Chain A
Amino acid sequence: MVHTLVHTSLYQEHLALHAKMVDFHGWTMPMEYTSIMAEHRCVRESVGIFDLSHMGELLVTGSDGVTAMNALVANDISVLAPGQIQYNFLLTKSGGIIDDILVYRIPEGLYLVVNASNTTKDYQWIIEHTSGDIQIRNITLATALIAIQGPNSLAVLEKTLQQPFSHLAYYGFCDVDWGGVQIRVSRTGYTGEDGFELYLAHVDAPALWVELLVNGAEFAIAPIGLGARDTLRLEMGMPLYGNEITEETTPLEAGLERFVKFSKANFFGKKSLLAQKKQGIKRRLVGLELQGRGIPRAGYPITDGETVIGQVSSGSISPMKGKGIALGYVQTAYAVSGSQVYIKIRSDFVAAKVIKGRIVQNNKRR
């Protein structure tokens, strides 16, 4: 198989900013521009700009589009009005997570934002598991995604697009015209800070990127790579597809039951999830904060001091706390805030406390 790396429309911008580029699920993406630690703090303290054009976008239209999709996904999209966004799941028959997705309700149907690594899989899955008058288009390659995240993101956005956005609700979006360029402005993100995700045509992205950087200068904006994106989401206890959530894990185990609507007549995987709910889950995803020195990493065993009771799914250092933090699955009995566990780092067992929810407290805007 020929392996070609896809460049986003901002590739030249990243090179000009001296980014360290990496292969990320077939895309050449910036890992860091200056330093992961500095970029992370920039997002918490002022504002950062991200190229997330590798994310997948699927357009669902047709008179049966919304109802057919609602019979597939776990959350209830029938409650969405145009301009609203919902976090949702595509599940296997056994309740495993095929992908975690954002569903945007648009007048003509749905706009789905999916993980880069899963775009093709999701597209195929939806085609194979829906019927009626429904059309699905993969518009990923035509679509760029620029995120601005951090306490100053609203100011940078308003200055750039020359209109107010303070009224835009969290998980709300609107389509705006920027001198002839159509931009979908979404108040969402993966950092725990206030922020926006901007979708626009591939060709228009460089101009918006430059304009945001220029206007953001007075607000201390900096470009942020995928490295800091990962530590930012980890501090917030947000799951990453492939690490915390996979086809082998369910939303119940991942602590994401609030996005599963059992009240719906049906959805793919409902029967299995109901059975799991009845039986009770055996393991649960939790946050962990190290009390000793060391950095937990994916795959490290979690013990109760004697026996293995779980495994780290993602781990790193918290740039804000300067401590090792992690997400991991533990036996349900240990999934209580304050539980004392140990993470095996090479030959040492380092004490860690279980934390549910955000691992690190931030600006609490989101």
Chain B
Amino acid sequence: MQVAKGLLYSKDHEWVKCEGASIKIGITDFAQDKLGDVVFVEVPSLDDQLIQGEPFTVVESVKAVSEIIAPIDGTIVAVNDRLEDSPELINEDCYGQGWIVSVEPQDEEYVDNLMTDQEYEIYLKEV
């Protein structure tokens, strides 16, 4: 299972990538593999609030509906519209074109509850 270097990870298998003032969020290779073919993404709305630990949208595979859990607190400042017509981007490029939202974090302490790539690799061996 691929773990991208330099990103932060949540226990719910989301990744977080700092890009200047905003933060991109997506699901990990482990998560997309577990889901199987992603066939529907409910693209959230701009300005929606994310509350860490609470679901903010759903991704559906052929066989199941999966809630995506917010890895940090923040406000959505950009959404990946391409997922509406091409949900398979999550399978094909989960750390790149398959990003889901971009968020302005509520504070700078968000990193405290997240794992580094090395920590996430160890975590994956345990689950």
A binding-site residues for B, Cβ under 8 Å: 20, 31-32, 35-37, 227, 230-231, 293-295, 297, 316-317, 319, 346
Q: Across the interface, do A317 and B36 meet the contact criterion of CB distance under 8 Å? A: no
Q: Does B121 contact A (CB under 8 A)?
A: no
> Which chain B residues (56-90) contact chain A, with CB distance < 8 Å?
58, 60-63, 65, 84
Q: Across the interface, do A317 and B65 meet the contact criterion of CB distance under 8 Å? A: no
Name the residue of chain B whose CB is nearest to the CB of A38. B37
A-B pairs with beta carbons under 8 A, tally: 36
Q: Across the interface, do A227 and B62 meet the contact criterion of CB distance under 8 Å? A: yes
Interchain CA distance A227-B60 in the complex, whole Å: 14
The 10 closest A-B pairs by CB, nearest first: A36-B62, A37-B37, A317-B39, A35-B37, A295-B40, A295-B60, A36-B37, A227-B63, A36-B36, A316-B62
Min Cβ gap A230→B in Å is: 8
Centre residue among A230, A293, A317, A319 by max chain B CB count within 10 A: A317
Interchain CA distance A297-B40 in the complex, whole Å: 13
Q: Across the interface, do B36 and A294 meet the contact criterion of CB distance under 8 Å? A: no
**9 additional contacts (CB under 8 A) given A36-B62, A317-B40, A317-B62:** A31-B63, A32-B36, A36-B36, A36-B37, A36-B61, A227-B63, A230-B63, A297-B65, A316-B63
Residue in contact with B40 in the complex, picked from A31, A37, A230, A293, CB distance below 8 Å:
A293
Residues of A within 8 A of B40 (CB): 293-295, 317
Interchain CA distance A130-B46 in the complex, whole Å: 66
Given the interface pairs A227-B62, A295-B60, A316-B63, the reply to whether A35 lies near B36 with Cβ below 8 Å is yes
Q: Across the interface, do A37 and B63 meet the contact criterion of CB distance under 8 Å? A: no
Q: Could you tell me how many residues of chain B have their Cβ less than 8 Å away from some Cβ of chain A?
A: 13
> Which chain B residues (28-49) contact chain A, with CB distance < 8 Å?
36-37, 39-40, 42
Residue in contact with B62 in the complex, picked from A20, A37, A294, A346, CB distance below 8 Å:
A37
Min Cβ gap A355→B in Å is: 20
Q: Across the interface, do A36 and B63 meet the contact criterion of CB distance under 8 Å? A: yes
Name the residue of chain B whose CB is nearest to the CB of A297. B65
Interchain CA distance A32-B61 in the complex, whole Å: 12
Interchain CA distance A32-B91 in the complex, whole Å: 15
A sample of 27 inter-chain contacts (CB < 8 A) reads A20-B36, A31-B36, A31-B63, A32-B36, A35-B36, A35-B37, A36-B36, A36-B37, A36-B61, A36-B62, A37-B37, A37-B39, A227-B62, A230-B63, A293-B40, A293-B84, A294-B40, A295-B39, A295-B40, A295-B60, A295-B65, A316-B62, A316-B63, A317-B39, A317-B40, A317-B62, A346-B42
Residues of A within 8 A of B61 (CB): 36
Min Cβ gap A44→B in Å is: 15
Residues of A within 8 A of B65 (CB): 295, 297
